[in-house]
Every structure is written in structure tokens, then in C-alpha cells.
């Protein structure tokens, strides 16, 4: 594909930019964003992406809350979060921008390119709304450029709704000084299913967008890529965890559709056959975990992937897996709660549910990846822990990791990651099915097919022989044994690394997908000379050791989380009545340190600038 | 074997399993409970077929009948209330080598587990499913069950059950892909044995409803039937169950029924004047989900590694295209 137009204005060299492509649902802004992000990553740039998703498949067109799109933070260096305000936005209509303004994704100075075809719409209401909005955006300081997206697209298609995205992709390529020559092949791949005519049409749209931008866009940018010597891969967190499932040798993913977890299962459904595995779509969430437990019991440790409401339904079986010590991996891709909550949005609200949502005492391993790369590697860890510690391992991801894309070093697969073949050798009948080691509580399990190991697994209280036992001493002992395993695992963990100095005024504690934003906020404050550090927990049950000692080296400790907590000063809310965020409550209970917290539930990632502001306030409060 | 010539291989003596090899803990059901008859029938069947105990798994839910696995000396899974089927499906999914029995009750299967029941029948995985139906919740002490007759008094409906009872056979015959549906009674061991044996032989989800007595709470329901065999209709077929004399002669009412005939099966299931026993329906051509879930078991570790590496290539940033 070649462009016949002159080279355009000279691009400015910059180190990073945050770009958003916003449209009505169904106009393909996400496809455009993904393809552009892919192009950036393959160019060697750092990226972090966020999907902007309405809860409905197709909300009414031009509705304020219907924004669908993609945010790409593009940089020279590797990036760890989605950044603060957008520097450049391309909008297919003006109404969808309101929700972006409301969520503070845009600000004065943001370069806004908006489709101006609405100004000539036959409907006077639409024309008026368009003009009002554009004036308002200008008043709010946005730098608005009106772009004839639809008119240009009409040169190639009668249905510009289906063509705008490739035209805008061309525009982005020109604006960010990318070589358009490789994009034609990508478009061909993407649209191959729709036939040759569609491929040609989309390639033509792309070229036209590219040429238009070269001629008409006043400001162009160049973000130099960084040199990387290690081979890299780029994918989102759900893809990473699906690949991790296979690399761990897990053969069965048993699931029920639930946003935002399902895309991991979609990926597995299209690939796991190649590794000899299956995806079982069960009739409900309960059956999904029951099937996985049956599979694990028969020797093939399985995974079930869900989100908050699904976790709620699975809790009885989760308790069973703890009680009967069945290895199992449960992935919870958290979304906004409680109840049905915010299905497509980001929250870290299921920590307590993961830890406690089951009757009785249910000690289990809970881990939380903090990066997309960890989404891959934690699956291998999770399967191994499930088998070694004979019980369920919960992996808490969230919607931010699930849909965000970021490059990371290509994993070097090891055969030892794969589950071993099912042991079918004879079992010594002298060894009971729960031969709990007196010290550690650990035991090996017989697997159906092992002669001499026949036993009946049960969720009732049981003794070492797995015989139903209501005896009080046996109950006390078996509870001890199941709990002991967590202490044993904890003894093998290392204290978390402190990011920044080992002592200081403020220590921030986080978990999950907030890692990058917290560390960027810490970096900015430290650059100003403020004494802030952070630690990020991956193990939430058992907790990593040494926390109390680390906390003792800072004047103040606080958590930053994306879940709900009360703010002191609101009506009725005092230091005494205040409900803390989930990790803060846990840490307070574990360490008896007076840990503060700041948490919000915006449904979106916390930008580093917002965290920076909160940390700054906490620091000044200390000084005053 | 290493170091030995092939002709020197020592053959292990064939194992002969006796009934004792299948008898687990002493059954703690009430004397006179129909569960005892089903248990000894399954033990006898296992012995007769010489099922290796280590390759036999009995999965159950919660309820009186769900204590069943504890009384077998095979592998067993005593699970959660209503959830036996998903567990059994999971066990079956990657283990074609196991013999799997599912034991459930009318509360476990038809009330709390009804969703799994419908889909379990539709999945048609190779499982022998025994519904031990005594028309009442026994373990929790006399509550109305979905199969309780109208007017039956219980601790939760002291004025009598409100609703027409659910007919498990009619329900199953209405589920797409059902492949084996039979009914038998706990008080006729030869018929019980022949029916469970036919169910076990069938490849697919074999559903057997066992009408049975609860001596404590519902003995009056089936006592008249036990005493008067004319209240049963013996369905006979070479393709289903065929009793030999003199047992056959105990049944005054018999009917030759071809279990391939679904509409006739439904008609028989709906009869209220008599309890038809035998095989209502059998379809050897229904698609089996376990043939799908067992795909790929032969894939080697090297092949897995190669496949995952190939997938990672699709995400490679450098050297792509």
C-alpha cells in the first residue's frame, strides 16, 4: 500500500502519549485500537491499553453513557499503567465524549478530533447538539479539530458505520509517524473472513485516512521505540492466563459464561484442543466448579474461571474442595460489585469473598497477579500449589488486567511446568487417604485407578481414613491440619520487596492490577524528594512474611485499592465507625499496625496522577 | 520387561474379586430401607462383572441414599446436595477407564439438583444413574419431596402436599438426547438386578428410577404395590429387561414394549393406573459428550510444548511476519 501524498508536517519527538478512540458500540473503535496498539508494540514501543466498554452489546447510538472504545498509552519505555489524561482523542460522534469528560479521562489541552458529519445531519436536533457540544468542549479547553470522517468514508462505502474504524486507523498511523506499508497485510488478515471485496475496501479506507491526516493534521508525533534485546510477546491478561493454563498442563477448563472472565475461556476454546485439553461450558456456575472438582478428584487438576457473581455461586463447592482437600485452580476475574454490579468495569472487591465466602473455616491459598506477565506465570504456580498443598488455589485477576495489553518477555516454556501423568501405581493400603503429616498437615492423595487406595471422599467431617467422624477431637485436629498447610507455605515465602527506600514517611501497600499506577505515583513523588515507598502483595493467603517489620520502618502505612471504604468526615463516619478497604482490614488484623487506606470504585483503573495526589495529601497531613 | 526374554514373562495370577471386595463400611440405613436392596444389587453386579474396585467410582450427593459410596469398597465421592452429576461428569470427562455409578435421591435429583439432572441427561456421558425415589426427604426427617403424592402430610406441609408430583420418568423422556430410561422397584431383587445391569451395559447416561420404601416416613406409599403385583406393569423386551420364570410369573400384567419407541415410552410413563417397570426407552445412537471430552488424551508432552510455543509465536512482537 502506498501513499501518493507528500510527507506532511514534521513530527514532534515525544516520549509518550495517551490516545483514545471513542465511538458508539458496534462501530469498531476497539478493533481500530487493538490494531493500532499491536502496531505500536511490534514497532518496539511500550504500550498499556484499556478497553472502554458499555455494559450493553449495543446501547442506543449517540448516547452519553454509550462510549465504546480503546485507550492506548504509547511510550518509548515500557509502561505499566494507562496513565492520566488523554493527549489525543478521536471520536466518531460528540455525545460519547461526555462520559469520558465525566470520568476525567480528558482535560484542557487534549487534542480532540471529532467527526463533523453530524453538523450536516438532516435532523436539526442532532445538528444543534453537535454544535453545542463542540462549543462546550472548546470552552473547556479541548483543542477541537473537526474531521470529515463520514464524508471521506462515503467515498468507499455506503455504510460508513462499518468503515470509520479503518479510516481512523490510517489517520492514527499518519499522526504517529508509523510506516503504513505493513498495515495492509494486517487488514487483509483481519477481514479475510469477510471476503476479498471487504479487504480491499478496508485497505482503501485506511489509505485514505492516512493520506487525509498527512495533508490536514497540523501536529504529528513520533514516539521513538526502545531497543529490546529479549524476545517479547504482547497480549492481554486473559490471553496470558489462558496460555498459562495450557503451559501448566491443565487439560480441563470448566466454566460458565460471565463478564469479564469469559474471554479467557473463548481463547482456550479455540486453542486448548491443540494441547489435548477441553473447555467444558457447564449448565451453571455450580456445575462448572463441580465438574472441575470431579476432574481433579480423578487426577486431572482442572481450572474454573469466573467473576464475582459466579464466585458467589461456587462457594459451597469451594468449601468442599477445602474440606476434602481437592486440588483445584479457581480464577476470579473481578468486576464491579456487589451483586450484578458493574459487569464490564474494574474493581478489586472480591478479596474477602475469595478468602471467606464459604461456611465454616476455609483456609485456602489466594494469589493475585499484578501484571499481565504474572497472569501467565501464576497459573503454573497455582496448579503446582494446588497439588502440593492439596486444595483449591484462587487466582484473583481483574478487568484491568483481563483486557489491558502490554508486551512482556516471551516465556521460555519448561516441560516441568506441565502436570505429571496421573499416578496409577498401586497405593500402599497401610497409608490412609489423609495421612496428615503431624508437623505440616500435608498428605498425598490416592487417585481412582490406584489399587489399594480405594476411599470415599466426603465433605463431612472425617478422620485420616476419610471416614465420617463427628468426634470433637478429630474435628479439632483435622481443622488444624488444613489450616497448618497455609503456615507451611508462608514459611517458604520471602518478604515482599520494598519499591523505593526501605524507610521513609509513607509506605503504600497495594495488590493486583494497581501495581504500575502506584509505582509511577511513587516515582513522581520521590523525584520531588518526598519519602514514599511501596510494596505490592502477590500472596494474600497466606500473606507474605515480614510485613510488620517493613511497616515499622515507615511513619505511616496506607493501602490504595479499587474497592469501597468510608471516608472520615462524611456524615456519621469517624475514625471509629469507618469501614476500611479490604486489604487494609486484613493488614490491620494481621499486623496490629494502624494502617490507613484510600480506595475508590470508579469502575476504571486508578490513574497514577490521582494516586499521586492522595499520597501527597497524606504526606502533608502528617507534616501539619 | 528389562533383562528378561519375552517368553519368560510371568503372568500375574488373574484376580478374582468376591462380594467382600465391594463391601465397605456397615450400612447405617434404617432396617427395611430400600437402599439396602440397591446396595447389595450393585455389589453383586460389580462382582458378577468383576469390575476392578480401584477402577469403580460411586458418586453421590446428599441425603439418605447418598451415603451409598461409604458402603462400597471402591472409590467414592460423597459430594454436595444436588451436585452429584456435575462431579460424576467431571470424573468421566478424562477417565474412559473408570466405571461410574451415580446414586441420588428424589430431593437431591429432582429438587435442588434439577438443573444438573436435565443437563446431565442431555450430556449423555457414560454413567449409571440410580434415582432412589422414596417420595420423601428422609435424612432431614420427613419433608415433602417433588415426587410426594398430593395430600401426603409432612413436617413442611402438614396439611398435605399441594402439588401434583413430578414424574421423573416423564421428565427424563422429555429431555433431548436421553438415551436410557428405566424404572424398577426395590422389593423385587431379580428385576432390580436385571434393570441395573441393563443400565450399566448401556453406553451413555443410563437413568434408573428405583421406587422404594422409606420404612419411617413413606412405607404406606409403596406397601400396597409391594403386596399386589397387579399394580405393576412388567414391560418386556429383548432390548430391555426380560425376566426368567418363575419370577416373571409373579407379575400378572406384562407388556411387550420396544424401548426404541419414544412416543410409546412417553405414553407408558404417563400412566397413572399402574407402575410400569422395565426399560421405557433406549437409544444407542444418541450423541455422547464423553466422546468429545476424552479427545486429546493421547497428545504427548512434546506435542503440548510445541503447540503452546506455536501459540506464543502468534503474540510475538519481534520477528512476526
pLDDT in tens, A310-331: 999 999 999 999 999 999 999 9
The verdict on domain A12-222 having CATH code 3.40.50.10470 is no
Residues near A45 by beta carbon (within 8 Å), at least 6 away in sequence: A74, A75, A76, A223, A225, A226
Whether the predicted pLDDT of A621 surpasses 80: no
Say if B15 is an interface residue toward chain A (CB within 8 Å).
no
Q: Given phi > 0 = left and psi -120 to 50 = alpha, else beta, which region is A575?
A: alpha
Q: Hey, are the CB atoms on B53 and A454 less than 8 Å from each other?
A: yes
Average pLDDT over residues A27-50: 94
The whole-angstrom distance between A31's CA and the closest CA on chain B is 16
* Chain B hits for A254, Cβ within 8 Å: 90
Q: What is the DSSP letter of B297?
A: T
A259-263, A382-386, B112-116, B231-235: least confidently modelled range: A259-263
Say if B20 is an interface residue toward chain A (CB within 8 Å).
no
Q: Hey, are the CB atoms on A252 and B93 less than 8 Å from each other?
A: yes
Q: Hey, are the CB atoms on A454 and B293 less than 8 Å from each other?
A: no
* Chain A hits for B296, Cβ within 8 Å: 251, 273, 275-278
Helix extents (H) in A397-543? 399-403, 472-492, 515-527
Say if A456 is an interface residue toward chain B (CB within 8 Å).
yes
Say if B77 is an interface residue toward chain A (CB within 8 Å).
yes
pLDDT in tens, A436-471: 999 999 999 999 999 999 999 999 999 999 999 999
Query: Regarding beta strands A12-13 and A16-23, do their DSSP bridges make them parallel or antiparallel, or are they unpaired?
Result: unpaired
**CA nearest B55 in A: which residue?**
A449
Q: Which of A249, A290, A413 sits opposite B90 (nearest CB)?
A: A290
**How is chain B split into domains, by residue range?**
15-295
Say if A592 is an interface residue toward chain B (CB within 8 Å).
no
From CA B90, how far away is CA A495, in angstroms rounded? 38
* Interface-testing mutation among B94, B112, B296, with chain A (most A C-beta atoms within 10 A): B94
Whether the predicted pLDDT of A72 surpasses 50: yes
The whole-angstrom distance between B94's CA and the closest CA on chain A is 7
The confidence score (pLDDT) of residue B320 equals 36
Q: Which of B98, B293, B307 sits opposite A448 (nearest CB)?
A: B98
**How is chain A split into domains, by residue range?**
12-222, 234-417, 504-623
Domains A234-417 and A504-623 share a fold: yes
pLDDT in tens, A89-137: 999 999 999 989 888 899 999 999 999 999 999 999 999 999 999 999 9
Q: What is the mean pLDDT of chain A?
A: 95
Q: Hey, are the CB atoms on A276 and B24 less than 8 Å from each other?
A: no
Say if B319 is an interface residue toward chain A (CB within 8 Å).
yes
Q: Which among B40, B92, B33 is positioned nearest to B63, based on CA atoms? A: B33
Percentage of chain A modeled with pLDDT above 70:
98
Is the alpha carbon torsion for A185, A189, A194, A196 positive or negative? positive
The confidence score (pLDDT) of residue B12 equals 65
* Chain A hits for B311, Cβ within 8 Å: 243, 246, 271, 274
Q: Which of B57, B59, B312 sits opposite A243 (nearest CB)?
A: B312
Whether the predicted pLDDT of A1 surpasses 70: no
**CA-only gyration radius of chain B, Å:** 23
Q: What is the DSSP letter of B111?
A: I
* Chain B hits for A249, Cβ within 8 Å: 301, 304
The whole-angstrom distance between B92's CA and the closest CA on chain A is 7
Distance of CA A505 to the CA centre of its chain: 30
- b/e string for B133-149 if b means 16 or more Cβ within 10 A? bbbbbbeeebbbbbbbe
Residues 115-134 on B with a CB inside 8 Å of A are: 115-116, 118-119
Average pLDDT over residues A358-366: 96
* Chain A hits for B86, Cβ within 8 Å: 282, 286-291, 294
The confidence score (pLDDT) of residue B8 equals 57
User: pLDDT digit of tens for each residue in chain B (321 aa)?
Assistant: 444 555 655 666 678 999 999 999 999 999 999 999 999 999 999 999 999 999 999 999 999 999 999 999 999 999 999 999 999 999 999 999 999 999 999 999 999 999 999 999 999 999 999 999 999 999 999 999 999 999 999 999 999 999 999 999 999 999 999 999 999 999 999 999 999 999 999 999 999 999 999 999 999 999 999 999 999 999 999 999 999 999 999 999 999 999 999 999 999 999 999 999 999 999 999 999 999 999 999 999 999 999 999 999 999 986 333
B284: exposed, middle or buried (C-beta count within 10 Å: 0-12, 13-18, 19+)? Answer: exposed
Q: Hey, are the CB atoms on A294 and B88 less than 8 Å from each other?
A: yes
What's the angle, vertex CA A316, arms to CA A315 and CA A317, rounded to 5?
90
Whether the predicted pLDDT of A2 surpasses 50: no
The whole-angstrom distance between A415's CA and the closest CA on chain B is 7
Say if B175 is an interface residue toward chain A (CB within 8 Å).
no
Query: Regarding beta strands A252-255 and A278-281, do their DSSP bridges make them parallel or antiparallel, or are they unpaired?
Result: parallel
* Interface-testing mutation among A280, A298, A316, with chain B (most B C-beta atoms within 10 A): A298
Whether the predicted pLDDT of A622 surpasses 80: no
From CA B88, how far away is CA B127, in angstroms rounded? 8
B33: exposed, middle or buried (C-beta count within 10 Å: 0-12, 13-18, 19+)? Answer: buried
Average pLDDT over residues A519-526: 98
Q: Which among A142, A80, A89, A20 is positioned nearest to A611, based on CA atoms? A: A80
Phi/psi at B279 (nearest 5 deg)? -95, 120
The whole-angstrom distance between A246's CA and the closest CA on chain B is 7
Band (pLDDT 50/70/90 cuts) for residue A77 is very high
* Interface-testing mutation among A43, A287, A463, with chain B (most B C-beta atoms within 10 A): A287
| CA distance to A358, A456, A472, A484, per residue, from A323 (Å) | 11, 13, 16, 13
Pick the CATH number of A234-417 from 3.40.50.300, 3.40.50.970, 3.30.479.30, 3.40.50.720: 3.40.50.970
Band (pLDDT 50/70/90 cuts) for residue A227 is confident
Say if A109 is an interface residue toward chain B (CB within 8 Å).
no
Pick the CATH number of A504-623 from 3.40.50.1370, 3.40.50.920, 3.90.850.10, 3.10.129.10: 3.40.50.920
CB B129 within 8 Å of CB B207: yes
**CA-only gyration radius of chain A, Å:** 27
Provide long-range contacts, Cβ within 8 A and 24+ apart, for B266-272.
B266/B170, B266/B173, B266/B174, B268/B233, B268/B235, B269/B167, B269/B169, B269/B170, B269/B173, B269/B181, B270/B167, B270/B170, B271/B233
Average pLDDT over residues A469-482: 96
Provide long-range contacts, Cβ within 8 A and 24+ apart, for A586-590.
A586/A351, A586/A355, A586/A540, A586/A543, A587/A509, A587/A543, A587/A547, A587/A551, A587/A557, A587/A559, A590/A543, A590/A547, A590/A548
Say if B24 is an interface residue toward chain A (CB within 8 Å).
yes
Band (pLDDT 50/70/90 cuts) for residue A60 is confident
Say if A232 is an interface residue toward chain B (CB within 8 Å).
yes
Instruction: Look at the block and give the residue holding cell 508536517.
Output: A9
The confidence score (pLDDT) of residue B13 equals 64
- As a whole number of Å, the end-to-end CA separation of chain B is 50
From CA A41, how far away is CA A406, in angstroms rounded? 8
CB atoms within 10 A of CB A101: 16
From CA A255, how far away is CA A303, in angstroms rounded? 8
Distance of CA A483 to the CA centre of its chain: 30
**CA nearest B306 in A: which residue?**
A275
From CA B117, how far away is CA A53, in angstroms rounded? 36
pLDDT in tens, A587-618: 999 999 999 999 999 999 999 999 999 999 99
CB A276 within 8 Å of CB A253: no
Pick the CATH number of B15-295 from 3.90.380.10, 3.40.50.880, 3.40.50.970, 3.40.50.720: 3.40.50.970
Say if B79 is an interface residue toward chain A (CB within 8 Å).
yes
Q: Which among B106, B133, B127 is positioned nearest to B178, based on CA atoms? A: B127
For B133-185, the DSSP string reads E-SEETTTTSEE-TTPPTT---SS-TT---SPPP-HHHHHHTSTT--EEEEEE
* Chain A hits for B119, Cβ within 8 Å: 282-283, 287
Say if A281 is an interface residue toward chain B (CB within 8 Å).
no
Amino acid at each position: 500500500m502506498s501513499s501518493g501524498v507528500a510527507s506532511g508536517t514534521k513530527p514532534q519527538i515525544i516520549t509518550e502519549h495517551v490516545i483514545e478512540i471513542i465511538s458508539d458500540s458496534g462501530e469498531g473503535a476497539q478493533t481500530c485500537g487493538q490494531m493500532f496498539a499491536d502496531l505500536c508494540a511490534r514497532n518496539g514501543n511500550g504500550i498499556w491499553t484499556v478497553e472502554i466498554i458499555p455494559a450493553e452489546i449495543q446501547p442506543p447510538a449517540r448516547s452519553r453513557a454509550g462510549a465504546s472504545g480503546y485507550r492506548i498509552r504509547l511510550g518509548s519505555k515500557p509502561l505499566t499503567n494507562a496513565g492520566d489524561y488523554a493527549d489525543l482523542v478521536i471520536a466518531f460522534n460528540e455525545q460519547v465524549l461526555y462520559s469520558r469528560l465525566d470520568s476525567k479521562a480528558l482535560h484542557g489541552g487534549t487534542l480532540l478530533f471529532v467527526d463533523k458529519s453530524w453538523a450536516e445531519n438532516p435532523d436539526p436536533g442532532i445538528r444543534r447538539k453537535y454544535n453545542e457540544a463542540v462549543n462546550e468542549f472548546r470552552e473547556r479547553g479541548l483543542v477541537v479539530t473537526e474531521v470529515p470522517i463520514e464524508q471521506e468514508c462515503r467515498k468507499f462505502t455506503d455504510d460508513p458505520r462499518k468503515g470509520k474504524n479503518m479510516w481512523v486507523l490510517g489517520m492514527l498511523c499518519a499522526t504517529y509517524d508509523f510506516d503504513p506499508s505493513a498495515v495492509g497485510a494486517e487488514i487483509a488478515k483481519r477481514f479475510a473472513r469477510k471476503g476479498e471485496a471487504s479487504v480491499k475496501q478496508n485497505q482503501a479506507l485506511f489509505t485514505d485516512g492516512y493520506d487525509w491526516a498527512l495533508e490536514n493534521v497540523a501536529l504529528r508525533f513520533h514516539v521513538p521505540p526502545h531497543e529490546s534485546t529479549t524476545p517479547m510477546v504482547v497480549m492481554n491478561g486473559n490471553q496470558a492466563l489462558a496460555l498459562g493454563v495450557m503451559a501448566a498442563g491443565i487439560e480441563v477448563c470448566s466454566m460458565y459464561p460471565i463478564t469479564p472472565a469469559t474471554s479467557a475461556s473463548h481463547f482456550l476454546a479455540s486453542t486448548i484442543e491443540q494441547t489435548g485439553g477441553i473447555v467444558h461450558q457447564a449448565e451453571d456456575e455450580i456445575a462448572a466448579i463441580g465438574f472441575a472438582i470431579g476432574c481433579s478428584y480423578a487426577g486431572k487438576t482442572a481450572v474454573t474461571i469466573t467473576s464475582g457473581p459466579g464466585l458467589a455461586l461456587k462457594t459451597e463447592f469451594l468449601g468442599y474442595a477445602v474440606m476434602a482437600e481437592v486440588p483445584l485452580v479457581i480464577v476470579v476475574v473481578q468486576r464491579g460489585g456487589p451483586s450484578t454490579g458493574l459487569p464490564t468495569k474494574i474493581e478489586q472487591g472480591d478479596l474477602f469473598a475469595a478468602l471467606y465466602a464459604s461456611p465454616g473455616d476455609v483456609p485456602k491459598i489466594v494469589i493475585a497477579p499484578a501484571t499481565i506477565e504474572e497472569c501467565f506465570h501464576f497459573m503454573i504456580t497455582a496448579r503446582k500449589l494446588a497439588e502440593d498443598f492439596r486444595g483449591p488455589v484462587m487466582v484473583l485477576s481483574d478487568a484491568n488486567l483481563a483486557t489491558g495489553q502490554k508486551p512482556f518477555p516471551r516465556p521460555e516454556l519448561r516441560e516441568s511446568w506441565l502436570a505429571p501423568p496421573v499416578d496409577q501405581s498401586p497405593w500402599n493400603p497401610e497409608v490412609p487417604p489423609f495421612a496428615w503429616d503431624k508437623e505440616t498437615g500435608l498428605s498425598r492423595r490416592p487417585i481412582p485407578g490406584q489399587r489399594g487406595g480405594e476411599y470415599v471422599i466426603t465433605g463431612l467431617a472425617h478422620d485420616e481414613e476419610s471416614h465420617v467422624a463427628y468426634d470433637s477431637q478429630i474435628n479439632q485436629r483435622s481443622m488444624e491440619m488444613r489450616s497448618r498447610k497455609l503456615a507451611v507455605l508462608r514459611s517458604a515465602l520471602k518478604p515482599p520487596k520494598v519499591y523505593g527506600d526501605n524507610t521513609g514517611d509513607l509506605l503504600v501497600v497495594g495488590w493486583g492490577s494497581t501495581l504500575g499506577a502506584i509505582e509511577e505515583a511513587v516515582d513522581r513523588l520521590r523525584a520531588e524528594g518526598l519519602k514514599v515507598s511501596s510494596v505490592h502483595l502477590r500472596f494474600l493467603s497466606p500473606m507474605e512474611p515480614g510485613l510488620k517489620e517493613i511497616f515499622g520502618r515507615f511513619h505511616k502505612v496506607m493501602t490504595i485499592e479499587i474497592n469501597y471504604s468510608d471516608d472520615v468526615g462524611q456524615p456519621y463516619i469517624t475514625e471509629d465507625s469507618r469501614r476500611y478497604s479490604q486489604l487494609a482490614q486484613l493488614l490491620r488484623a494481621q499486623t496490629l499496625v494502624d494502617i490507613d487506606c484510600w480506595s475508590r470504585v470508579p469502575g476504571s483503573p486508578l490513574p497514577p496522577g490521582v494516586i499521586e495526589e492522595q499520597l501527597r495529601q497524606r504526606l502533608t497531613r502528617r507534616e501539619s | 520387561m528389562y533383562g528378561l526374554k519375552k517368553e519368560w514373562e510371568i503372568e500375574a495370577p488373574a484376580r478374582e474379586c468376591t462380594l467382600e471386595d465391594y463391601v465397605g463400611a456397615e450400612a447405617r440405613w434404617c432396617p427395611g430401607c430400600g437402599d439396602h436392596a440397591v446396595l447389595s444389587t450393585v455389589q453383586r453386579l460389580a462382582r458378577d462383572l468383576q469390575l476392578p474396585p480401584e477402577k469403580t467410582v460411586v458418586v453421590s450427593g446428599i441425603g439418605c441414599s447418598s451415603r451409598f459410596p461409604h458402603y462400597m469398597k471402591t472409590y467414592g465421592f460423597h459430594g454436595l446436595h444436588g451436585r452429584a452429576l456435575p462431579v460424576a461428569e467431571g470424573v468421566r470427562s478424562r477417565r474412559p477407564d473408570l466405571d461410574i455409578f451415580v446414586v441420588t435421591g428424589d430431593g437431591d435429583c429432582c429438587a435442588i439438583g434439577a438443573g444438573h439432572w436435565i443437563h446431565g441427561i442431555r450430556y449423555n456421558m457414560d454413567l449409571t444413574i440410580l434415582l432412589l425415589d422414596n417420595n420423601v426427604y428422609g435424612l432431614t426427617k420427613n419433608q415433602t419431596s417433588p415426587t410426594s403424592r398430593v395430600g401426603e402430610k409432612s413436617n413442611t406441609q402438614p396439611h398435605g402436599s399441594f402439588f401434583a408430583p413430578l414424574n421423573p420418568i416423564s421428565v427424563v423422556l422429555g429431555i433431548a438426547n436421553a438415551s436410557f430410561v428405566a424404572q424398577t422397584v426395590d422389593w423385587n431383587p431379580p428385576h432390580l438386578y436385571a434393570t441395573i445391569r441393563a443400565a450399566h451395559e448401556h453406553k451413555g447416561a443410563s437413568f434408573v428410577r428405583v421406587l422404594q420404601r422409606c420404612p419411617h416416613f413413606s412405607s404406606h406409599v409403596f406397601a400396597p404395590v409391594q403386596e399386589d403385583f397387579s399394580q405393576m406393569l412388567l414391560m418386556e423386551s429383548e432390548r430391555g429387561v426380560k425376566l426368567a420364570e418363575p419370577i416373571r410369573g409373579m407379575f400378572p400384567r406384562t407388556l411387550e414394549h420396544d424401548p426404541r419407541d419414544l412416543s410409546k415410552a412417553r405414553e407408558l410413563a404417563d400412566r397413572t393406573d399402574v407402575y410400569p417397570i422395565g426399560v421405557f426407552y433406549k437409544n444407542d445412537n444418541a450423541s455422547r459428550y464423553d466422546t468429545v471430552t476424552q479427545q486429546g488424551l493421547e497428545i504427548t508432552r512434546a506435542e503440548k510444548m510445541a503447540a503452546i510455543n506455536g501459540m506464543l509465536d502468534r503474540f510475538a512482537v519481534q520477528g512476526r511476519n
